[in-house]
Structure 1
Amino acid sequence: MPDTGGTFVISGCCNSAAASDEPSALESSLDQLPVVVIGAGPVGLAAAAHLAERGMNYLLLEAGAQVGASIAQWGHVRTFSPWRYNIDPAARRLLDTRGWSSPDSDWLPTGAEIIEHYLSPLAAHPAIAPRLRLGTKVTDISRVGHDRVRTAGRELSPFVVRLAGGDEVLGRAIIDATGTWHSPNVLGASGLPAYGEAEASELIDHALPDVLGADRDHYVGRHTLVIGAGHSAATTLLALGRLAEQFPHTQVTWAIRAGSAARSYGGGAKDALPARGQLGTRLEELVRSGVIALRTGFFTHSLIRDTDSVAVIGRDLSGAEQKIIADRIVAATGYRPDHSITTELRLDLDPILGGPRALAPLIDPNVHSCGTVPAHGAAELAHPEPDHYTVGVKSYGRAPTFLMATGYEQVRSVVAALDGDWQAAREVQLELPDTGVCSSDLAEAQESRVGLATGISGGLLGTPLAMADSEAADPDGCSCG
């Protein structure tokens, strides 16, 4: 079994140790195996920085062709949180050793700027680059010789991480930072796909399309229906509102389940992040002026597609129906965790949110906003499967209150625990700005760039859409990435 870059790789799909009941050489050398971090977004890379700082063996696997691959999908959006909340302390220390030029701490970066000025330099650092594998998709995780049922010797058996190409990587621990970007929620208000949703898929865009840039032609002069009440919806609505003000035949309708949009408007002037507060204020102005038509109490039930349009039927609990006919739909309905790669591991998931059970009460969106989530770490993120941790936005399950800064503290604690430093693992600390209602936001104009707030799972990942030069004076937004 070759040792490639400090990691054990099993070619093909078979492993003789898996069929044996006797302790294997792999079990006796468990501590020599790497910690396998899955996902090279902000939180996964932060985990790598903490592992490197402690001199621990690790491997960082990323399914995309670049680090921050999901962020690249919303690179046109600006965050509502400034740089000082978006950089992990260990990552900063690592970058400083290479003469890195730190961005202005008060600047609100776009997703593209986060990749260019932070994630890419971090990934290129000599402590990380040799251990990073791009284009490496994980399909399954288990224990060598142990399915989910078998207990004897489980803790002594390495994790086996199966890759899409057919190889398997062994590790002593797993940090799952895969996020939720690729598993969006459906349009149906009950959590089930709306009738006809699949048939109308060509007319449905998921969160954060580049309304004022690459995707502009999809929306100019057309009627767009935005469904959702979070940051992503607000971001898209503000962009569509600007488009409608420029092109009178452009129509925008916003449908939410709630009876009021007050929560979506956020904290306004009381928000500790002005960019986010301004997002809600601007959104409310567009609704009051009639640029955006708001439909409340709308529970999406079915879609009926015509050639170039779609009728969206909302049905409330009494059976009363509402109908909206639109040319395009933006489904800003949030995300859900995908645990399909861990079906053979013993995870203790909250039945409501789908994240670690111990964490769920601390992040319940019915109680908490982004800024009121208490500090938490390895203890709350652990599963019955020893040394397996779900971190980042995926740890929040369906809760939309995740902030990047929260994810950074998560991995600091987890890495300390894996290093046996339980004192550091337990001393979780987190300072977050008061977020008011963490549901939708917009950021102030910064020079000639404008963006809108988003509710992407992740950390204080605010993301604004790039605006035209003529809109340089408008504010931009954020994301909980």
Structure 2
Amino acid sequence: MSEWPVVVVGAGPVGLAAAAELVERGLEPVVLERGDQAGAAVAQWHHVRLFSPWSELVAPAAGRLLATAGWRRPAGEGYPTGAQWAAEYLRPLAAALGDRVRFGAEVVGVARRGRDRVVDAGRDSEPLTVHVRRADGGEERITASALLDASGTWGSPNPLGAEGLPAVGETAAAERISYRVPDLDDGEVAARYAGRHVVVAGSGHSALTALVAFAGLAEREPTTRITWLLRRGAVGSTFGGGEADQLPARGALGLRARAAVDAGRIEVVTGFRAERIDGRDLVSDNGNRLSDVDEVVVLTGFRPDLSWLSELRLELDATLQAPVALAPLVDPNVHSCGTVYPHGVAELSHPEPNVFLVGMKSYGRAPTFLAMTGYEQVRSIAAGLAGDRAAAERVELVLPETGVCGGAGLFDEPAEGQAGGCCAPAEPEALSLLAPPRR
């Protein structure tokens, strides 16, 4: 297979790290990125600060490759925004990889050469064929010795509907729904929401980040009404551990969100599992109705797009849609990001030879992904593809004692004073909720 390149899908943090590892191993990668720049997805949450510091966001092989190009490593204790991560690391890394990285190249399908998924013969001897659609509308086929899918999950947000499918009317109401944390420092974006009734649905870090930002907007524009919609029956540990949280940035975020709720700037509605959108009303599966809604920000997580991998034989967990050997290690019912054991080629292999889902996509629907863990994934896989079995099976990542969580931080929080870490959820505490919402 050495006559063909290794195709890496996605020029994000893990995809570019994979390319750097492959180059260091003497293998030739081709990185295919649908967007027009490295870190195209990261750039879409440019205004959000990560919980992880620079020291944990630069892949080892990538750092060595960049050093040869005279790159200046950012101070390890700093906490970048998405914009800084892309501009100061991802784009220079893509430049260092040169023409191995191709932009405007969307992978629309992958198959074993000359065979659909039903044919047994030749699956371990024939190369892969990667079907590519270029930005100019043209098509091409790339023959590959292996495939690393680092395309992530950013393009496939979960819907508002509680069943994992869009609520009735959700598609028709698309102009009033956003599935990303809005940049309220942008005047045009802020104007869309100012003075209106905005519903934020979700319970993770992204939802808390949005709530803090919207609370600030409500202070500036007092006619703005913010409702926080939760599927769970109580807020419980959603705010985190506060000052006792082992992840200080998350604790600060939770405290600010809770302060906004206590101050009456955010109304909370719990136990609301959206079933349909009826005009300006949201209706739950038990008939409860939230009325006069102008805008909805849905922050309920992401899922992998597996459609273009349909001709490959993947072995995925029925619940998480992650590789079956990896799923128990990342199950969010058991693990936080700091308790996910480093893993590599063994856990990420499939019945289809030399095909790997890596990075966020490897976690399926689990939300606990960590950049450092992704870098270890691709280091192990590159070693395996190069025939270095000992290195592939060796664990070279040592997580800090409490781990590190990547995720959406505060819009305006300075880099100083934030720290990494991860911990078990805090014990639930009683809260005074403002429900039902005012009319």
TM over 0.5: yes
Indicate yes or no: 2:338 matched with 1:368.
Answer: no
Partner of 2:428: none
**TM-score, scaled to structure 2:** 0.90
Between the aligned partners of 1:186 and 1:297, the Cα distance in structure 2 is 17
Among 156, 179, 182, which residue is 2:155 paired with?
Answer: 182
Contact map agreement 1:265 1:440 (CA 8 A) in 2: no
User: Partner amino acid for 1:370?
Assistant: C
Between the aligned partners of 2:6 and 2:413, the Cα distance in structure 1 is 42
User: Partner amino acid for 1:196?
Assistant: G
User: Partner amino acid for 2:12?
Assistant: G
Between the aligned partners of 1:263 and 1:426, the Cα distance in structure 2 is 37
Between the aligned partners of 1:65 and 1:440, the Cα distance in structure 2 is 23
User: Partner amino acid for 1:137?
Assistant: E
Contact map agreement 2:371 2:406 (CA 8 A) in 1: no
Contact map agreement 2:369 2:406 (CA 8 A) in 1: no
Between the aligned partners of 2:216 and 2:5, the Cα distance in structure 1 is 50
Q: Aligned pair in 2 of structure 1 residues 342, 390: CA closer, same or farther (>3 Å)?
A: same
User: Partner amino acid for 1:174?
Assistant: L
Alignment of 1:170-249 (within 5 A): 170-213=143-186, 214-249=188-223
User: Partner amino acid for 2:281?
Assistant: A
Contact map agreement 1:271 1:435 (CA 8 A) in 2: no
Between the aligned partners of 1:200 and 1:147, the Cα distance in structure 2 is 38
- Following superposition, the deviation at residue 89 of structure 1 comes to 1.0
Partner of 2:434: none
Contact map agreement 1:273 1:435 (CA 8 A) in 2: no
- Following superposition, the deviation at residue 74 of structure 1 comes to 0.8
Alignment of 1:144-155 (within 5 A): 144-155=113-124
Among 151, 156, 180, which residue is 2:125 paired with?
Answer: 156
Give the secondary structure class of the aligned counterpart of 1:31.
coil
Partner of 1:314: 284
Alignment of 1:402-441 (within 5 A): 402-428=369-395, 429-432=397-400, 434=402
Alignment of 1:457-476 (within 5 A): none
- Following superposition, the deviation at residue 258 of structure 1 comes to 1.2
Partner of 1:124: 95
- Following superposition, the deviation at residue 444 of structure 1 comes to 7.8
Q: Aligned pair in 2 of structure 1 residues 433, 238: CA closer, same or farther (>3 Å)?
A: farther
Between the aligned partners of 1:259 and 1:355, the Cα distance in structure 2 is 28
Partner of 1:333: 300
User: Partner amino acid for 1:197?
Assistant: E
Q: Which moved more, 1:205-214 or 1:185-194?
A: 205-214
- Following superposition, the deviation at residue 232 of structure 1 comes to 1.5
Partner of 1:298: 272
Between the aligned partners of 1:338 and 1:268, the Cα distance in structure 2 is 35
**TM-score, scaled to structure 1:** 0.82
Alignment of 1:22-61 (within 5 A): 30-61=1-32
Structure 1 gap segments, 5+ residues each = 1-29, 454-459, 461-481
Q: Which moved more, 1:257-266 or 1:202-211?
A: 257-266
Between the aligned partners of 1:259 and 1:392, the Cα distance in structure 2 is 32
- Following superposition, the deviation at residue 212 of structure 1 comes to 2.5
Among 26, 30, 45, which residue is 1:74 paired with?
Answer: 45
Contact map agreement 1:162 1:169 (CA 8 A) in 2: yes
- Encode CA deviations 1:153-193: one digit per residue, 9 max, x unaligned: 21110100001132100000000000111111111111121
Contact map agreement 1:143 1:157 (CA 8 A) in 2: yes
Give the secondary structure class of the aligned counterpart of 2:200.
strand
- Following superposition, the deviation at residue 371 of structure 1 comes to 1.2
Say how many residue pairs are matched: 414
Partner of 2:73: 102
Identity %: 49
- Encode CA deviations 1:226-276: one digit per residue, 9 max, x unaligned: 011112111111110111112111111100111222332123223343222
Give the secondary structure class of the aligned counterpart of 1:137.
strand
User: Partner amino acid for 1:39?
Assistant: G
Contact map agreement 1:355 1:396 (CA 8 A) in 2: yes
User: Partner amino acid for 2:240?
Assistant: G
- Following superposition, the deviation at residue 122 of structure 1 comes to 0.7
User: Partner amino acid for 1:233?
Assistant: A
Between the aligned partners of 2:417 and 2:293, the Cα distance in structure 1 is 27
- Following superposition, the deviation at residue 324 of structure 1 comes to 3.9
Partner of 2:238: 264
Contact map agreement 1:271 1:434 (CA 8 A) in 2: no
Contact map agreement 1:274 1:444 (CA 8 A) in 2: no
- Following superposition, the deviation at residue 285 of structure 1 comes to 1.3
- Following superposition, the deviation at residue 284 of structure 1 comes to 1.3
Contact map agreement 1:276 1:440 (CA 8 A) in 2: no
Among 309, 313, 325, which residue is 1:342 paired with?
Answer: 309
- Encode CA deviations 1:438-466: one digit per residue, 9 max, x unaligned: 9875488327x999x9xxxxxx9xxxxxx
Between the aligned partners of 1:430 and 1:397, the Cα distance in structure 2 is 23
Between the aligned partners of 1:274 and 1:101, the Cα distance in structure 2 is 28
Partner of 2:429: none
Structure 2 gap segments, 5+ residues each = 423-439
Contact map agreement 1:244 1:250 (CA 8 A) in 2: yes
Indicate yes or no: 2:62 matched with 1:91.
Answer: yes
Between the aligned partners of 1:203 and 1:52, the Cα distance in structure 2 is 45
- Following superposition, the deviation at residue 380 of structure 1 comes to 0.7
Contact map agreement 2:11 2:31 (CA 8 A) in 1: yes
Q: Aligned pair in 2 of structure 1 residues 98, 350: CA closer, same or farther (>3 Å)?
A: same
- Following superposition, the deviation at residue 60 of structure 1 comes to 0.7
Between the aligned partners of 1:264 and 1:396, the Cα distance in structure 2 is 22
Between the aligned partners of 2:36 and 2:45, the Cα distance in structure 1 is 16
Contact map agreement 2:214 2:226 (CA 8 A) in 1: yes
